[in-house]
A = this chain, B = another copy of it.
Amino acid sequence: MMGGDFAPLEAVKGVDAFFKENKNDVHLILIGDEEKIKSIADIGNIPVEKYSIVHAPEVIEMHEHPTKALKEKQQSSIAIGFHLLAGGKTDAFISAGNTGAMMVGALFSIKAIEGVLRPTIGAYMPRENGSLGLLLDVGLNADCKPENLNQFAILGALYAEHILKIPRPKVGLVNLGEEEGKGNLLAQAAYPFLKENSHINFVGNIEGRDILLDKTDVMVCEGFTGNVVLKMAESIYDITQRRNIKDEHFDRFNFESYGGVPVLGVAKPVIIGHGISHSTAFKNMIHIACRMMETDLTGKIKEKFSAQEI
């Protein structure tokens, strides 16, 4: 509840909005400063049986060093959140707090699924035809090996199939040219891995101009390029807002609509939200976590990665 620039107000509002829309049996553990949470009027709208509050007296601020802060602030909402998740007290963890601390927590508190070399973070890319593409990695793995990209492709394809409901999702390798053989050393080396990968529907290289088209459903790259692309896409929405452009498609560049980005390849659902998250983002992050649990995405990833050849 303490993550994001408008905590805990917008987080509480998001929880309220979620339960207004959903009659399912989700129970939310709200982790944060109990007094502050209770002081927000909207908390009164949420049926009391739908949530419990776990008090967290500390907060990891947005610019603190992730590893150091997680270690020193054991009573922060993020540290407690991962503690509950790792201990099996919760089934998924959502936060719009310090991104680095969320990543470190996801990697070290709950661990990667066996066989997954490097967990990854994906982000949605809106397309003109109304569909969503998944770009990954968008910042968790700045330097990658070809094997990593190959695994991101499998993780992304499973997410696209089960969460985005795209049958046989098309996978593309982000590159600087379409033809096989193009690219930097990493992309050149990753291509044959992807081509030989029987677990995915690899359709070849895609270029920067294809990222906002529906050429492929899953777009794979290392986290440096992916992060630059994601933040640039986010800035397009800001520009359209500043310039008063009203357009259904560009409105979908409002990344708040999608809530947060899933960490894929870790043993439990973890969703990382944007620092500027408002109530809609929080509501949607809860939705994503629910869908990940309903479809048992983690189980499906475990099953896939237990195959010997990956």
| Contact present for A183 and B239 (CB under 8 Å) | no
Residues of A within 8 A of B (CB): 128, 139, 142-143, 174, 176, 183-185, 187, 207-213, 221-225, 227-236, 238-239, 242-243, 245, 247, 249-250
Inter-chain CA distance A238–B174, complex, in Å, is: 19
A212: contacting residue among B184, B225, B232, CB under 8 A: B232
Contact status A185-B236, CB under 8 Å: no
B208 near A235 (CB under 8 angstroms)? Answer: yes
What number of copies of this chain does the assembly contain? 2
Give the residues in chain B near A142, CB-CB below 8 Å.
Answer: 176, 183-185, 187
- Is A211's CB under 8 angstroms from B225's CB? no
Residue of B nearest to A211 (CB): B232
Contacts of A231 in B (CB 8 A): 207-209
CB-contact partner of A222 in B184, B212, B245, under 8 A: B184
Closest-CB distance, A46 to chain B (whole angstroms): 34
Smallest CB-CB separation from A238: which chain B residue? B209
Contact B235 A213 (CB under 8 A): yes
Contact yes or no, B207 A242, CB < 8 A: no
Q: Give A244 to B212 CA distance when docked, in angstroms.
A: 17
Contact A176 B227, beta carbon cutoff 8 Å: yes
> Is chain A's interface secondary structure helix, strand, loop, or mixed overall?
helix
Is the Cβ of B235 less than 8 Å from the Cβ of A143? no
Our pick among B143, B184, B232 for the contact of A209 (Cβ within 8 Å) is: B232
CB distance from A145 to the nearest CB of B (A): 12
How far does the alpha carbon of A142 sit from the alpha carbon of B189 in the complex, in Å? 13
Q: Once bound together, how far apart are the Cα atoms of A245 and B236, in whole Å?
A: 14
Q: A239-B249, A243-B247, A249-B239 are in contact. Are A208 and B185 (CB under 8 A)?
A: no
Task: Name the distance in Å between A158's Cβ and chain B's nearest Cβ.
Answer: 24
Residues of B with C-beta under 8 A to A128: 239, 242-243
Q: Judge whether B143 and A185 touch: CB under 8 Å.
A: yes
Q: Is the CB of B245 within 8 A of A245?
A: yes
Q: Is the CB of B211 within 8 A of A235?
A: yes
* Neighbour of A225 across the interface among B209, B224, B235, B245, CB < 8 A: B224
Whether B176 lies near A224 (C-beta < 8 A) is yes
Residues of B within 8 A of A174 (CB): 228
CA A36 – CA B211 in complex, angstroms? 38
Knowing A176-B142, A185-B143 touch, does A212 contact B235 (C-beta < 8 A)?
yes
Task: State whether A139 and B212 are in contact (beta carbons under 8 Å apart), knowing that A225-B224, A232-B229 are contacts in the complex.
Answer: no
Q: Are B249 and A176 touching (Cβ within 8 A)?
A: no
CB A14 to nearest CB in B, in angstroms, measures 23
Question: Are A176 and B209 interface neighbours, CB within 8 A?
Answer: no
11 A-B pairs (CB sep. < 8 Å)? A128-B239, A139-B176, A143-B184, A184-B224, A208-B233, A208-B234, A209-B231, A212-B232, A213-B235, A239-B250, A243-B250
Determine whether the beta carbon of B230 is less than 8 Å from that of A208. yes
Cα–Cα, bound, A207→B229 (Å): 10
Q: Is the CB of B208 within 8 A of A232?
A: yes
